[in-house]
């Protein structure tokens, strides 16, 4: 008899717990929907009415779905413990933790546009010790409020199951029908947007946590309407790369400019002085000069790729193997620009590699024996084609072949004279008033800090822009710039590209750039953030060090900077 009574009581307790859980989870879903409005606030700006509607229905549908999922996975199975009082205590604690996690995720999304994943969470507790660089002071208010609301919800749910009078409450049913319709509608709209490549909606894919909308391809593949083929016959594909992120739009400028880019490879900023480089010093003083321009890599070809595409080297293999063209080259072809490259002091095999890194066909690249011959041939070509719009790239490589520091200095003095004469000839020609000249380097002086794995002194190189516009004369800027900025600058200033730079590179137009905290780059498996006064190195083992001009010391990781850098690197990966 006792056994039967216990069994009956356990069953009664389970039924009571289940009924209570329905009311409790429903109230918590309403609270989660209110909290989830944070994601709507932090979402990218909707550019059409339908994208706004999609954002709203996804907010209601996805947050409610997560609440329903938590009921199925956690709250419902626990009802079988058979003790109503214990179940309520566990449920209140669990609901409290879920809401706190939702608040942390919302904060991460507002600040960094990322969601709380296991890797991010483990980084916060293991490597950062919660010193994330983000402000979580709002938790001092949020935690007591959430605790208070959970006890109120528990009390209301308990009162609901003990009501004696029977009444019909249609409110929960109406709400459930509404959010279910929103959930289904959001997925259907996304399938349509993906099928029609409607980016105003597909760009909102990652707004909400744990949101994985069905795509048109996955829907059709699931139903057997198309084959699941994502790679070409060689097994490699660009299907995992989205470049550019949106359609590139440009407006023709009133006066179409030419652009001449000169890379004096083997030259660092510290090499500039009145004795060895008087011409470059004069060009720097008379024109627009960026004093904190850094190369992201200690490799000529990697830096050329960064300059040409405005992208990190992680994309090099896919882009070069599939002959992906950068945005500037694509627009130049549409605008019928003459594109030519001149390289010196490099063998044929290396010339082919350079051709791949720049995306320029070998028939448009001319490999010459010396810098002197290169500069003469380049000017002859420019002079003969003065009536055409031109994009000329010069890669002077003789400095990198010097076998001693003294030889490097002697040749630099000669090269400075030759470059000065070349610029003077351009300025005296008929194209002077419609030509922008960019002078920089794709490789620093290899005789500087040879024992250091990364040297700011070596990686800091000149960056001079000779612009025919008067307001650009004699200006010196200290904002951080890098090779990643060259392609966006050409795209905006020369070609009139109006699409935001973030859609085709991780750099920016330096003529409008006002401030920047750091330049992200990599060295093997190590992440580096180059700032004005230091280099912060994030090693694979989780250790962080900061290198300054004075010393090297351990540092704490900054989650905000770290995640932003990783998002920049992975921006074009699907």
- At 461-487, the pLDDT tens digits run 999 999 887 677 889 999 999 999 999
Candidates 481, 506, 487; CA nearest to 259 is 487
Q: What are phi and psi of 82, to 5 degrees?
A: 80, 15
Residue 284 lies inside a defined structural domain of this protein = no
Can you give the pLDDT at residue 82?
A: 75
State how far the Cα of 444 lies from the Cα of 267, in Å rounded to an integer: 5
Residue 464 lies inside a defined structural domain of this protein = no
Residue 248 lies inside a defined structural domain of this protein = no
> For the chain, what is the total number of helices (H) and then of strands (E)?
19, 13
DSSP letter string, 8-64: HHHHHHHHHHHHHHHHHHHHHHHHHHHHHHHHHHHSPPP-SHHHHHHHHHHHHHHHH
State how far the Cα of 196 lies from the Cα of 445, in Å rounded to an integer: 51
Model confidence pLDDT, tens digit, residues 161-185: 777 555 566 777 888 889 889 989 9
C-alpha 439: how far from chain center: 27
Angle, to 10 degrees, between the axis of helix 371-384 and the axis of helix 405-427?
Answer: 10
Domain end, chosen from 198, 213, 228, is at 213
Residue 245 lies inside a defined structural domain of this protein = no
Question: Does pLDDT of 565 surpass 90?
Answer: no
Strand duo 526-530 + 544-547: pairing: unpaired
The verdict on 267 and 174 lying in the same domain is: no
- The radius of gyration of the chain's CA atoms, rounded to the nearest angstrom, is 30
Can you give the pLDDT at residue 121?
A: 73
The verdict on 329 and 394 lying in the same domain is: yes
Can you give the pLDDT at residue 109?
A: 84
Can you give the pLDDT at residue 552?
A: 82
Strand duo 464-466 + 435-440: pairing: antiparallel
Model confidence pLDDT, tens digit, residues 490-505: 999 999 999 999 999 9
Q: What are phi and psi of 419, to 5 degrees?
A: -65, -40
The verdict on 328 and 380 lying in the same domain is: yes
Looking at 79-198, list the stretches that DSSP marks H as alpha helix, in order from N- to C-terminal side: 84-112, 118-122, 139-161, 171-195
* pLDDT higher at 31 or 242: 31
Can you give the pLDDT at residue 5?
A: 42
Residue 234 lies inside a defined structural domain of this protein = no
The verdict on 164 and 35 lying in the same domain is: yes
Question: Does pLDDT of 221 surpass 70?
Answer: no
The verdict on 387 and 313 lying in the same domain is: yes
Domain end, chosen from 471, 494, 512, is at 512
Candidates 110, 119, 125, 143; CA nearest to 36 is 110
Question: Does pLDDT of 343 surpass 70?
Answer: yes
Classify residue 431 by burial, with Cβ atoms within 10 Å: 0-12, 13-18, 19+.
buried
Neighbours of 23 (CB within 10 A): 18
Can you give the pLDDT at residue 491?
A: 94
Q: What are phi and psi of 478, to 5 degrees?
A: -105, 5
Residue 567 lies inside a defined structural domain of this protein = yes
196 Cβ contact partners less than 8 Å away, ≥ 6 residues apart = none
State how far the Cα of 385 lies from the Cα of 377, in Å rounded to an integer: 12
Maximal CA-CA distance, the chain: 110
3-class DSSP state of 133: coil
Residue 224 lies inside a defined structural domain of this protein = no
Residue 180 lies inside a defined structural domain of this protein = yes
Model confidence pLDDT, tens digit, residues 294-337: 999 998 889 999 999 999 998 888 888 887 888 888 899 888 89
Domain end, chosen from 193, 213, 233, is at 213
State how far the Cα of 109 lies from the Cα of 172, in Å rounded to an integer: 30
In which band, very low, low, confident or very high, does the pLDDT at 231 lie, cut at 50, 70 and 90? very low
Contact indicator for 534, 548 with CB cutoff of 8 Å: yes
The verdict on 330 and 202 lying in the same domain is: no
469 Cβ contact partners less than 8 Å away, ≥ 6 residues apart = none
Model confidence pLDDT, tens digit, residues 354-384: 666 666 677 788 888 899 999 999 999 999 9
Number of structural domains the chain divides into: 3
**Average pLDDT of the residues of the chain:** 84
The verdict on 508 and 531 lying in the same domain is: no
Range of the domain at 558: 517-574
**In Å, how far are 184, 196, 353 from 12, measured between CA atoms?**
35, 53, 76
Looking at 196-299, list the stretches that DSSP marks H as alpha helix, in order from N- to C-terminal side: 199-202, 216-222, 278-286
The verdict on 320 and 422 lying in the same domain is: yes
The verdict on 206 and 262 lying in the same domain is: no
Q: What are phi and psi of 474, to 5 degrees?
A: 60, 30
Strand duo 288-294 + 476-482: pairing: parallel
DSSP letter string, 514-534: ---S-EEEEETTEEEEE-SS-
The verdict on 491 and 554 lying in the same domain is: no
Can you give the pLDDT at residue 279?
A: 96
The verdict on 178 and 262 lying in the same domain is: no
Which CATH number characterizes residue 397's domain?
3.40.720.10
Neighbours of 33 (CB within 10 A): 17
State how far the Cα of 363 lies from the Cα of 352, in Å rounded to an integer: 10
Beta strands in 386-512 (DSSP E): 390-396, 435-440, 464-466, 476-482
Tokens 């093997």 correspond to 524
State how far the Cα of 565 lies from the Cα of 572, in Å rounded to an integer: 13
Question: Does pLDDT of 459 surpass 90?
Answer: yes
Q: What are phi and psi of 520, to 5 degrees?
A: -85, 140
Model confidence pLDDT, tens digit, residues 416-430: 999 999 999 999 998
349 Cβ contact partners less than 8 Å away, ≥ 6 residues apart = none
- For the record, the structure tokens of 26 come out as 């429903």
State how far the Cα of 28 lies from the Cα of 71, in Å rounded to an integer: 11
Can you give the pLDDT at residue 34?
A: 93
Q: What angle do CA 501, 530, 115 make, to 5 degrees?
A: 60
Mean pLDDT of 377-404: 92
CB-based burial, 279-318: b 16+ in 10 Å, e otherwise: bbbebbeebbbbebbbbbbbbbbbbbbbbbbbbbbebbeb
- For the record, the structure tokens of 403 come out as 């076998």
State how far the Cα of 369 lies from the Cα of 534, in Å rounded to an integer: 39
Question: Does pLDDT of 235 surpass 60?
Answer: no
The verdict on 175 and 262 lying in the same domain is: no
Tokens 């040297």 correspond to 455
């Amino acid at each position: 008899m006792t056994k039967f009574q216990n069994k009956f009581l356990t069953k009664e307790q389970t039924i009571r717990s289940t009924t209570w859980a329905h009311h409790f989870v429903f109230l918590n879903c309403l609270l989660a929907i209110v909290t989830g409005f944070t994601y709507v606030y932090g979402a990218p700006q909707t550019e059409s009415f339908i994208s706004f509607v999609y954002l709203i229905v996804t907010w209601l549908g996805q947050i409610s779905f997560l609440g329903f999922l938590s009921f199925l996975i956690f709250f419902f199975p626990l009802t079988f413990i058979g003790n109503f009082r214990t179940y309520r205590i566990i449920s209140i604690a669990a609901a409290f933790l879920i809401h706190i996690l939702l608040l942390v995720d919302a904060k991460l999304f507002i600040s960094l546009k990322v969601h709380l994943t296991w890797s991010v969470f483990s980084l916060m507790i293991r490597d950062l010790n919660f010193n994330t660089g983000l402000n979580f002071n709002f938790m001092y208010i949020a935690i007591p409020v959430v605790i208070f609301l959970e006890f109120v919800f528990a009390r209301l749910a308990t009162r609901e199951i003990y009501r004696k009078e029977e009444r019909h409450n249609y409110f929960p049913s109406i709400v459930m029908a509404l959010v279910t319709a929103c959930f289904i509608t959001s997925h259907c709209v996304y399938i349509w947007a993906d099928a029609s490549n409607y980016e105003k909606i597909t760009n909102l894919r990652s707004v909400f946590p744990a949101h994985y909308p069905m795509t048109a391809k996955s829907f059709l593949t699931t139903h057997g309407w198309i084959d699941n083929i994502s790679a070409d016959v060689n097994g490699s594909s660009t299907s995992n790369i989205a470049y550019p992120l949106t359609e590139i739009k440009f407006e023709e400028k009133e006066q179409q400019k030419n652009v001449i880019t000169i890379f004096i490879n083997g030259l660092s900023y510290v090499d500039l002085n009145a004795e060895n480089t008087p011409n470059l010093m004069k060009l720097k003083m008379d024109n627009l000069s960026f004093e904190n321009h850094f190369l992201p890599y200690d490799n000529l070809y990697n830096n050329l790729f960064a300059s040409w595409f405005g992208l990190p080297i992680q994309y090099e293999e896919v882009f070069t193997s599939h002959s992906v063209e950068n945005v500037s080259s694509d627009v130049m072809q549409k605008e019928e620009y003459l594109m030519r490259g001149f390289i010196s002091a490099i063998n044929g095999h290396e010339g082919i590699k350079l051709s791949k890194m720049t995306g320029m066909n070998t028939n448009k690249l001319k490999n010459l024996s010396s810098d002197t011959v290169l500069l003469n041939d380049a000017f002859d070509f420019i002079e003969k084609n003065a009536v055409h719009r031109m994009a000329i790239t010069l890669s002077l490589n003789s400095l990198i072949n010097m076998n001693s520091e003294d030889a490097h200095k002697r040749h630099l003095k000669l090269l400075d004279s030759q470059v000065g004469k070349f610029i003077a000839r351009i300025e005296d020609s008929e194209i002077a008033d419609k030509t922008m000249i960019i002078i920089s380097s794709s490789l620093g002086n290899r005789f500087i800090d040879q024992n250091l794995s990364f040297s700011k002194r070596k990686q800091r190189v000149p960056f001079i822009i000779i612009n025919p516009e008067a307001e650009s004369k004699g200006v010196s800027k200290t904002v951080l710039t890098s090779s990643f900025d060259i392609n966006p600058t050409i795209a905006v200033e020369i070609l009139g590209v109006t699409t935001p730079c973030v859609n085709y590179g991780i750099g920016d137009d330096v003529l409008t750039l006002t401030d920047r905290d750091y330049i992200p780059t990599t060295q093997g498996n190590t992440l580096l953030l180059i700032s004005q006064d230091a280099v912060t190195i994030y090693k694979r083992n989780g250790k962080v060090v900061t290198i300054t001009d004075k010393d090297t010391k351990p540092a704490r990781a900054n989650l905000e900077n770290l995640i932003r850098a990783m998002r920049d690197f992975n921006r074009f990966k699907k």
